Amino acid sequence: MRLLTHAALTGSALLLLAGCSDDAPPSRTEDPGAPAIEDPGLEHVHGLGIDPADDQLYAASHFGVFRISDDGSFTRVADRWQDTMAFTVAGPHRFLASGHPDLREQDLPPHLGLIESTDGAETWTSVSLSGDADFHALDVSGSRLYGYDSVGQRLLASSDRRTWDLVSQGPLLDIAADPSDADRVLAITGAGDLVAHQVAGGESVVAGAPALVMIDWPEPDLLVGVTGSGAVYRSRDAGRSWEQTTAPPGRPQAHDVTSGRWYVATDGGIFVSRDDGETWDLVVRTAG
């Protein structure tokens, strides 16, 4: 098994940590006299998720949330251009997210905090921490929601999605909640360490883990991670040992793992594997 050095991780980690700007994304203007802004399309994917209601793939991007069809076509949902940073599917048609508003929504703060959609990203409602938090990662286990707030560099946990408890402090790249223990979450630190946290307190480094920048924990016996260079690893024993699989082309931006399908978005497109990372097929080309 080939491990990346921490030196190799540093450049990729900095790119991911800098992936969000405080500048709002460009949006179309409703002023007919103003020059039109070219639609960049599906570009810079921040998150992926499958809606269990209809098995539909969604991609949250710098320029809105897109619905991806099996034929490779895509549609920006509700013509909303918000910069959707963190994104996770919490149930049928129910999404949780964070980010920055469309410029047409001038009554909203620059940091959206936690927002929720119950209609497949057609509309969004503010839930908590509006104006205070910019989540770059969200994950759910049971009734527990975890979020990494990049503004305060805080790993937070909530059981009602309105009040939050501090789990740890410091820069993180990604998080993954334990599907069999809602009180446990894995976090990738800015230094590239994989650390297990307990809500009640206590943490421990997962020794021997690759230098990951993204991680997902879809099943109790399956962890899947991606390195800054795009290498994909899987663990069948909660991170005690890792096996490298093949990798889709391009630099990684986001990933999502479900039973039978693994998705990775890179600067070249969104790819799917139906054989646990052994081979990858292009779903849709992206603009970068």
CATH code for position 146: 2.130.10.10
Is 204 domain-assigned?
Answer: yes
Is 49 domain-assigned?
Answer: yes
Going by C-alpha positions, the residue among 111, 12, 100 that lies closest to residue 63 is 100
Is 33 domain-assigned?
Answer: no
Q: Is the pTM of this model over 0.85?
A: yes
- Contact present, 48 and 10 (Cβ < 8 Å): no
Q: pLDDT by residue (tens digit) across 208-218? A: 999 999 999 99
Please report the pLDDT score of residue 22 as a whole number: 44
Q: pLDDT by residue (tens digit) across 220-241? A: 999 999 999 999 999 999 899 9
Structurally, the chain folds into a number of domains equal to: 1
Residue written as tokens 């810079």?
A: 44
Residue 129 structural domain: 6-20+44-284
Is 36 domain-assigned?
Answer: no
Residues facing residue 66 across a β-bridge: 59, 76
Is 263 domain-assigned?
Answer: yes
Is 168 domain-assigned?
Answer: yes
Query: In percent, how much of the chain has pLDDT > 90?
Result: 80
Residues of the chain short of pLDDT 70, as ranges, are 1-37
Tell me which amino acid residue 134 is.
D
Both tokens assigned to 267 = 């600067």
Is 32 domain-assigned?
Answer: no
